[in-house]
């Protein structure tokens, strides 16, 4: 008998499998694509100035025929910049792009729908509350009985023609239809949100929640410069007007950005932006005749709305809402399998 006969044989040891590298096409970046971010800002700003150029060349500014059309067209420039960068500059290209931009899939659907509804109605309520806070501090005079300011505006627009419908009824119709009318604004706000909250915010997210929200808000505010310098929104065609716009977009951008991060979808941001724009004229319905409100203070993005939005942001922060976000980096199937095998060992 040889020395090996009768002895227990040990099966050969097999080497542990090498860990598989994560799939390269995660829906969100692990680090900020700074070159793509810079390209996005240059393209978005450049297109915005290009679209607004006729307003500057005409010498009539915001009174230029077709000004509204140009302003709406300008709203599509951030979305155009996002698509140009995603397809031509960003490497590796975001895949799947609809998920990167928050367009699809809508999951979980219940959360997306609930936050979309809350964004739409909440942004309208934000404007309404700001108006009444302004009135409570004596910053603007309201007429909630005769709606004299709105009646004055209607008479001026009618050119002396008698309006057969009572002013109060017209106001009620306006208020009831406000959420539904705001839905149509989404056809324009999708152009902005595709860029700001769809592409830029996720691209900056590796910096952390607050830096990403703050930088996105500032970039968004400065993008408005071509029309703010013509007196849009604040009637301040100067650097101060731009600063006011940056401040307003910073506060509003944090709220709309929270909707994007909390839902993992762009649609709550799109409809919140649409509701805000649709309700921006609410003060004109309830203001007293002869009142001359300062848009810097009581305008839709004035100082009083800043205060209201700051309170909402503080409540969300204290209750930990900014930390509740869907996973920005999904594990690939191989990662998940490796994790399961590790737990089994």
Number of domains making up the chain: 1
Q: Whole-angstrom Cα distance, residue 265 to residue 263?
A: 5
Q: Is the pLDDT of residue 331 over 70?
A: no
pLDDT at 160: 66
The sign of the dihedral angle between the CA atoms of 50, 51, 54, 55 is: negative
2-14 residue pLDDT tens: 344 444 444 444 4
- How many other CB atoms are found less than 10 A from the CB of residue 210? 12
Can you tell me whether residue 185 is helix, strand or coil? helix
pLDDT at 106: 85
Tokens 């209750």 belong to 319
Closest CA to 221 of 196, 191, 204: 196
For residues 257 and 309, the answer to whether their CB atoms sit within 8 Å is no
Report if residue 44 sits inside a domain: no
Report if residue 227 sits inside a domain: yes
Q: If you ran DSSP here, which 8-state letter would residue 26 be given?
A: -
63 contact partners, CB below 8 Å, separation of at least 6: none
What range does the domain containing 217 cover?
105-322
Report if residue 307 sits inside a domain: yes
Report if residue 28 sits inside a domain: no
Q: Whole-angstrom Cα distance, residue 187 to residue 184?
A: 6
Mean pLDDT, residues 157-179 = 85
Mean pLDDT, residues 195-200 = 97
Mean pLDDT, residues 87-93 = 91
Q: Whole-angstrom Cα distance, residue 221 to residue 119?
A: 20
pLDDT at 334: 38
Average pLDDT across the chain, whole number: 88
Q: Whole-angstrom Cα distance, residue 283 to residue 134?
A: 10
């Amino acid at each position: 008998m040889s020395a090996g006969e009768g002895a227990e044989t040990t099966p050969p040891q097999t080497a542990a499998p090498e860990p598989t590298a994560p799939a390269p096409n995660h829906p969100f970046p692990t680090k900020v694509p700074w070159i793509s971010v810079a390209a996005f800002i240059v393209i978005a700003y450049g297109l915005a100035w290009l679209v607004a150029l006729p307003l500057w060349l005409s010498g009539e500014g915001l009174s230029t025929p077709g000004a509204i059309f140009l302003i709406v067209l300008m709203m599509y420039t951030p979305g155009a910049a996002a698509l140009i960068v995603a397809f031509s500059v960003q490497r590796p290209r975001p895949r799947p792009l609809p998920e990167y931009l928050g367009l699809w899939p809508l999951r979980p659907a219940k959360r997306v729908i609930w936050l979309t509804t809350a964004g739409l109605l909440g942004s309208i309520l934000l404007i309404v509350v700001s108006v009444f806070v302004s009135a409570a501090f004596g910053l603007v005079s309201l007429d909630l009985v005769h709606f004299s300011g709105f009646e004055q505006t209607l008479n001026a627009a009618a050119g002396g023609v008698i309006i057969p419908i009572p002013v109060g009824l017209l106001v009620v119709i306006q208020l009831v239809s406000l959420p539904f009318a705001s839905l149509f604004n989404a056809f324009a706000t999708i152009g902005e949100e595709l860029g700001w909250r769809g592409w830029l915010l996720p691209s900056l997210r590796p910096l952390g929640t607050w830096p990403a929200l703050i930088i996105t808000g500032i970039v968004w505010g400065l993008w408005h410069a071509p029309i703010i310098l013509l007196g849009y929104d604040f009637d301040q065609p100067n650097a101060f007007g731009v600063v006011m716009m940056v401040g307003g977009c910073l506060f509003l951008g944090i709220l709309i950005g929270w909707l994007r991060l909390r839902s993992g979808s762009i649609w709550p941001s799109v409809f919140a932006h649409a509701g805000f724009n649709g309700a921006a004229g609410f003060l004109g319905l309830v203001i007293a005749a002869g009142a001359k409100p300062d848009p810097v203070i009581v305008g839709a993005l004035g100082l009083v709305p800043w205060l209201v939005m700051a309170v909402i942001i503080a409540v969300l922060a204290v209750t930990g809402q900014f930390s509740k976000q869907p996973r920005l980096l999904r594990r690939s199937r191989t990662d998940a399998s490796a994790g399961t095998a590790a737990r089994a060992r």
